Structure 1
Amino acid sequence: MKWDLTYLFINDEAFESAYQEALKIIEQLSTYKGKLKEEKTFKEYFLLQKQFEKTGLRAYQYAHLKSDLNKKDMKSATMLQKAQIAFSKLTEAISFEEPELIGIGKETVLGFINRNKELEEFRFNVEKLFRRQEHILDDESEALLATFTQTLSAGRELYSSLSVADIEHGDVMLDSGEIVTVTNSNYRAFIKKSESAEERKEIFESVFSYYERHKNTYAAIYKNVLDTDYARMRARKYASSLDSYLFENNIPTEVYTSLTNVARTTTGSVKRYLQLRKEYLKLEEYHTYDRFLDLAKSDKEYEYEEGKNLFFASIKNFPDTFKDKAKEVLKEGFVDVYEGEGKRTGAYSSSMPDLHPFILLNYSKTLEDVFTLAHEAGHSIHSMFAQEAQPSILQNYTIFVAEVASTFNEHNLLDYFIKESKASKNEKIALLQRAIDDIMSTFYRQTLFAIYEFETHKLIENNVPITPDTLSKIMIDLYKEFYDLDIEKEEVKKYVWAYIPHLFYTPFYVYQYATSFAASLKIYENVKNNVEGAFENYLNLLRSGGSKFPIDQLKETGVDLTKEDAFLAVSNRLSELVNQLELVIHEK
């Protein structure tokens, strides 16, 4: 149950050969500077970019997957660095492209595309380029910025080294006398099984004390990330860091503000749920890590094959084309299932144009792992539908719609569990908890982090010094606002900002978990209620890849995220579920 990377390259020597070929293509691309105004050379240049895709992206995929299998493997790390260097060179080599196209003019450039069918797939990206014309610098300035590509990503690389490659895991003696090594991947499972408040605290602190010990380093790294975003914002003349991330995909700021406003003004059910948990679990104090405790105890484990079959069973009534792709993405060799030494934590689906997607898991046999499997399969299914329908340049969908397919699968799997349950009291409680926790973590928690990074970016924009205390204070205030919890009492929890990789790797990403959740819930409800054309509209969304702006893609499925309605529907759903849970808990 490991990745078979020979699908990409038979061995490291084949990778090296492709890497060298990619470097040659990059060198060739650089020779087209000043020549794009001629239709013949314009065509050659863009077709050469497609050739780079076939070698360069395959090489990068191989190196990054191999590195994620073992962050301690220096050979793989070197290969990844080489691939990253190649992309830095590519950025520098083609830095002339955008200013030159702007100079040629939209009418002429689109004329070249109109007369050459092979270039049609570049049309949408060219139209996007001219849309952001005001944010593109002159040729010399773009070339200068390109030379800083690796420097500007230093914060993200340092975070990876500190949080994965060099991370230190602690041992904890459980109440049973067993000594266990607690990691970022397994600590939730240990807390879930614990019946002792003191033991849960020790397990939690064994993980988060690492971030406290390195708080100054993490603050310095995060400052680098914030500084980088600020520098990019200033250089490209955006109004704010947030605007610089929203502009590329034409996301209206109303989406961000509607989401955060709804989340901040509908925390009543969130707090009611936490109080209900505290009372039902008979806890003297409720801590953030108590959220991992099951309201209905179950030691049931789900072997990987069982989890996979449960997912397949949940989609049995979907069209064959969907089911076939679900089986394809979970084929042997394309899923790396279990935790391993040095392996990257968490889970993801990684895809490149015209290449079979790969899924990384750290499967530990919990119910949550079954949902994670379905979630990542959703990403891969999305990629395969896009590959089937779109040319390579338009296959990569935006982050904004990326979480729709994954959370759609989760909504469906949850319904499957509820329907298949024999509905004992404990089963009802467990499933309601799963549904509520899904909204709590995907909608409210991610929106909290979205507000957090909006506030931290404002610190930089307003010249406020960045320290561990200033970063922690924002988090303390938000936890009080959203959950009515004082995380200062937990000592190490206030450093949760250092624990969240998205804040470092992909700023202004996490809000899209919440928007995607809201969109997928609406789409799923339409499918579930047999609204005419609902599933076909959904498949068309998956097939559209990156060929349209995401807001337009979602509107075609009947979802408008510029309005608060879709977000209010999520908060109303949470209120209904908490009401149901209260009723079930008080059943005799």
Structure 2
Amino acid sequence: MAKPDTMNRDEIAEDYKWDFSQIYPNWEAWEADMAVLDGLIDDYAALQGTLASGPEALVRASELSDDIGRLQFKLYRYPQLQRDVDTRNTEISGRFQRVTALFAKLGTAASWFTPELLEVGYGTVGEWLNSEPKLAPYRFPIEEAFRQAEHTLDADGERLMSYSSQFSGTPRTIYQELSTSDIDFPEVELSTGEKVKLSYGGYSRTLNTARNQADRQAAFEGHYETYAANRNTYAAIYNASLQRDWFGAQARNYSSTLEAALDGNNVPVDVYKTLVETVRGGTEPLQRYVKIRAKMLGLDSYHLYDGSLPLLEDDRVYPYDDVKDTVLESVAPLGEAYQQKMAALLNNRRLDVYENEGKRSGAYSAGVYGVGPYMLMNYNDTMDAVFTFAHEMGHSMHTELAYETQPFATASYTIFVAEVASTTNERFLLELLLSRTEDPKERFLLLQQAIDDIVGTFYTQVMFADYEWQAHQKVEQGQPITPDSLSEIYMGLLEDYYGDAVAKDELYRYTWTRIPHFFNSPYYVYQYATCFASSAQVYKAMTTGTAEEKAAATERYLDLLRSGGNDHPMEQLRKAGVDLSDPATIQAVVDQMSDLVDRLEVEAERIQSSS
């Protein structure tokens, strides 16, 4: 099936939309579990003061926490997923707010646990862990509490911090409402006569397909002017996020927001700094690629909005139903069991495929413990959408394997390892498509796709990480946060990363306004780059060497996916064969980019000589 012409969700076939009944059959069942959770929260609060009585009390608190956690997944996802496919539905948004309010109550009711656990002391708790088998699933999170003891407040302090939990999410909520429910994108008429609504999907598709630079410019200006018009509001929202992060860091005795953000995963600050510094020093292949693009596209002036266009004409479309089979075939090296699980997921109505009015932009995979992953896309039949599909399927399969292998307490994996699975699946897809063709044009386009993956997942995300770090340091140093100060940071980064390879359009200074991760999940995006470096190393191990070596590497990789969150993420990656503390791991991606650009030039010459 090709992409539907309609943006009306009711007119899209049911097979391409989520089935929410796998979570709850109706809102009445959801309401019933809301009441159950409310009661369990009271039960948990009543356990305060019992931990010192012995290991049985710790088991009781831990198992009740699991019961609460399982309910949280379902109660949160049921309205959240429905809100994301229609952000205009205020009734569902209201229900979602009720969930977050109840979770805030839980945060307060549970705030006693860690301080009380620390009061018991590791000597005693360690003996309990060794003597009570029922505590085995909780060993890692309990030991984590003691590792972070210096950043844990006393019971009164933790209770006070818990009161801010719902408020802390307010900047994110305001950003989402402004950027989805209330935003009004213009419509432009392209040189072809086609009229395009410059929603995220329409804008992205235009940049990917419009061969006329003036059309891309019009789409860029219409889309970005919509954000720029609200720059003062966006700056105020982002300032709230920055101030929140700095408050939390200081309250928990961290020297910086970066240290506070990384400590939860026990990631050294130097890993972040090394990543940024290594990539800043390795921008030459990026700039060389941009100059090649400008030359091949015949552009006197190259702009960032020219960066999504394939370098060769290609009118092929990639219908979703055809792509399903291709993506499934691409993961054959991971084994028949992996493929069977993916096939079941692809046919279970847990993918919401196409864009519709009111649907949030982008793509994601969201887990529901006890049910499985739900995957959102805005599939538009482009090659980029194909690789996005493979990317999100990697996340979904990571969730499937972790949920079926780990107990609830350690089932949720960290963001730090999450993107390994997604980018590894992209690499498998790329190699399958390359193996299917000897057509130099098609191979060139796929090679370009591989380079663009590095640009988007590695260079761009590190540039974003660089931006976040600089913005947070402004707050830490007491400097003002204004639209101009934030835009100056971003324009400086464009100069540092792209040099004279691109024209500096004034509107690009407001790019920070349209990056949801900045507002939703601070210090998140750097992990795209570390995961890209990790997946490159893992993929190489799985596809080179003897049959025995490849099989062993594949099993290590699957063990990584199965391990969920049962260890520190850098240790999980070390077990899979990756050491992110070594700058060479990051530099290898820069070198890979340089090699791919070399190969792209060779293929371009072959195409030119044969024409």
Q: TM-score, normalization: structure 1?
A: 0.98
Deviates further, 352-361 or 561-570: 352-361
Match of 1:534 in 2: 553
Distance in 2 (CA, whole Å) between partners of 1:472 and 1:479 is 11
Q: Give the drift of 1:33.
A: 1.5
Equivalent pair of 1:18/1:56 in contact (CA under 8 Å) = no
- Code of the residue aligned with 2:361 in structure 1: it is T
The answer as to 2:447 corresponding to 1:432 is yes
Pick the aligned partner of 2:401 from 371, 385, 409: 385
Distance in 2 (CA, whole Å) between partners of 1:301 and 1:194 is 14
Match of 1:490 in 2: 505
Q: Give the drift of 1:488.
A: 8.1
Distance in 2 (CA, whole Å) between partners of 1:329 and 1:375 is 15
What secondary structure, in the 3-state scheme, does the structure 2 residue paired with 1:357 have?
A: strand
Match of 2:91 in 1: 75
Match of 1:301 in 2: 317
Match of 1:4 in 2: 19
- Code of the residue aligned with 1:207 in structure 2: it is H
Equivalent pair of 2:461/2:528 in contact (CA under 8 Å) = yes
Distance in 2 (CA, whole Å) between partners of 1:562 and 1:355 is 36
Distance in 2 (CA, whole Å) between partners of 1:269 and 1:49 is 50
- Code of the residue aligned with 1:494 in structure 2: it is R
The answer as to 2:203 corresponding to 1:187 is yes
Equivalent pair of 1:155/1:222 in contact (CA under 8 Å) = yes
Distance in 2 (CA, whole Å) between partners of 1:28 and 1:539 is 38
Distance in 1 (CA, whole Å) between partners of 2:81 and 2:485 is 36
Equivalent pair of 1:186/1:364 in contact (CA under 8 Å) = no
The answer as to 2:603 corresponding to 1:584 is yes
Match of 2:44 in 1: 29
Match of 2:472 in 1: 457
Match of 1:524 in 2: 539
Q: Give the drift of 1:316.
A: 2.8
Q: Give the drift of 1:489.
A: 4.1
Deviates further, 530-539 or 452-461: 530-539
Q: Which residues in structure 2 correspond to 1:547-586 (within 5 Å)?
A: 547-586=566-605
Match of 1:271 in 2: 287
Query: CA 1:554/1:255 → structure 2, altered by over 3 Å: closer, same or farther?
Result: same
Match of 1:342 in 2: 358
What secondary structure, in the 3-state scheme, does the structure 2 residue paired with 1:37 have?
A: helix
What secondary structure, in the 3-state scheme, does the structure 1 residue paired with 2:368 have?
A: coil
Q: Deviations over 1:219-261 (max 9, x none)?
A: 0000000000000010001011000011111112222122112
Distance in 2 (CA, whole Å) between partners of 1:442 and 1:423 is 27
Deviates further, 175-184 or 164-173: 175-184
Equivalent pair of 1:262/1:567 in contact (CA under 8 Å) = yes
CA RMSD after TM alignment: 1.4
Distance in 2 (CA, whole Å) between partners of 1:94 and 1:120 is 21
Pick the aligned partner of 2:562 from 538, 543, 547: 543
The answer as to 2:526 corresponding to 1:511 is yes
Equivalent pair of 2:301/2:502 in contact (CA under 8 Å) = no
Query: CA 1:9/1:97 → structure 2, altered by over 3 Å: closer, same or farther?
Result: same
Distance in 2 (CA, whole Å) between partners of 1:192 and 1:387 is 36
Query: CA 1:332/1:482 → structure 2, altered by over 3 Å: closer, same or farther?
Result: same
Match of 1:225 in 2: 241
Q: Which residues in structure 2 correspond to 1:79-90 (within 5 Å)?
A: 79-90=95-106
Q: Deviations over 1:82-126 (max 9, x none)?
A: 111111111010111111111111122233333432222111001
The answer as to 2:139 corresponding to 1:123 is yes
Distance in 1 (CA, whole Å) between partners of 2:264 and 2:496 is 31
- Code of the residue aligned with 1:401 in structure 2: it is V
Q: Give the drift of 1:186.
A: 2.3
Q: Give the drift of 1:340.
A: 1.2
Deviates further, 390-399 or 194-203: 194-203
Pick the aligned partner of 2:170 from 146, 151, 154: 154
Q: Deviations over 1:432-464 (max 9, x none)?
A: 110111111111000000010000000000000
Q: TM-score, normalization: structure 2?
A: 0.94
Query: CA 1:367/1:488 → structure 2, altered by over 3 Å: closer, same or farther?
Result: closer
- Code of the residue aligned with 2:400 in structure 1: it is M
The answer as to 2:228 corresponding to 1:212 is yes
- Code of the residue aligned with 1:239 in structure 2: it is S
Q: Give the drift of 1:412.
A: 0.9
Distance in 1 (CA, whole Å) between partners of 2:258 and 2:396 is 28
Q: Which residues in structure 2 correspond to 1:50-129 (within 5 Å)?
A: 50-129=66-145
Query: CA 1:502/1:48 → structure 2, altered by over 3 Å: closer, same or farther?
Result: same
Distance in 2 (CA, whole Å) between partners of 1:386 and 1:399 is 14
Equivalent pair of 2:83/2:89 in contact (CA under 8 Å) = yes
Equivalent pair of 1:479/1:486 in contact (CA under 8 Å) = no
Pick the aligned partner of 2:331 from 312, 315, 332: 315
Distance in 2 (CA, whole Å) between partners of 1:22 and 1:265 is 51
- Code of the residue aligned with 2:453 in structure 1: it is D
Equivalent pair of 1:488/1:494 in contact (CA under 8 Å) = no
Equivalent pair of 2:88/2:181 in contact (CA under 8 Å) = yes
Match of 2:6 in 1: none
Match of 2:5 in 1: none
- Code of the residue aligned with 1:14 in structure 2: it is A
Equivalent pair of 2:302/2:503 in contact (CA under 8 Å) = no
Distance in 2 (CA, whole Å) between partners of 1:163 and 1:343 is 11
Distance in 2 (CA, whole Å) between partners of 1:486 and 1:525 is 31
Distance in 2 (CA, whole Å) between partners of 1:329 and 1:573 is 33
Equivalent pair of 2:129/2:139 in contact (CA under 8 Å) = yes
- Code of the residue aligned with 2:48 in structure 1: it is K
Query: CA 1:488/1:148 → structure 2, altered by over 3 Å: closer, same or farther?
Result: farther
Q: Give the drift of 1:530.
A: 4.2
Equivalent pair of 1:18/1:59 in contact (CA under 8 Å) = yes
Equivalent pair of 2:411/2:564 in contact (CA under 8 Å) = yes
- Code of the residue aligned with 1:444 in structure 2: it is Y
Distance in 2 (CA, whole Å) between partners of 1:25 and 1:114 is 28
- Code of the residue aligned with 1:3 in structure 2: it is W
- Code of the residue aligned with 1:565 in structure 2: it is A
Equivalent pair of 1:347/1:359 in contact (CA under 8 Å) = yes
Equivalent pair of 1:218/1:498 in contact (CA under 8 Å) = yes
Pick the aligned partner of 1:395 from 411, 414, 423: 411
The answer as to 2:155 corresponding to 1:139 is yes
Deviates further, 397-406 or 301-310: 301-310
Distance in 2 (CA, whole Å) between partners of 1:431 and 1:63 is 39
Q: Give the drift of 1:352.
A: 3.2
Distance in 2 (CA, whole Å) between partners of 1:322 and 1:486 is 43
- Code of the residue aligned with 1:300 in structure 2: it is R
Equivalent pair of 1:329/1:377 in contact (CA under 8 Å) = no
Distance in 2 (CA, whole Å) between partners of 1:191 and 1:162 is 24
Equivalent pair of 1:480/1:486 in contact (CA under 8 Å) = no
Q: Deviations over 1:511-558 (max 9, x none)?
A: 000000000011001111145111001011111110011111111111
Equivalent pair of 1:476/1:486 in contact (CA under 8 Å) = no
Distance in 2 (CA, whole Å) between partners of 1:99 and 1:86 is 22
Report how many residues are paired: 587
Structure 2 residue ranges without an equivalent (≥5):
1-15
Q: Deviations over 1:123-165 (max 9, x none)?
A: 1001000001000111111111111111122111111111111
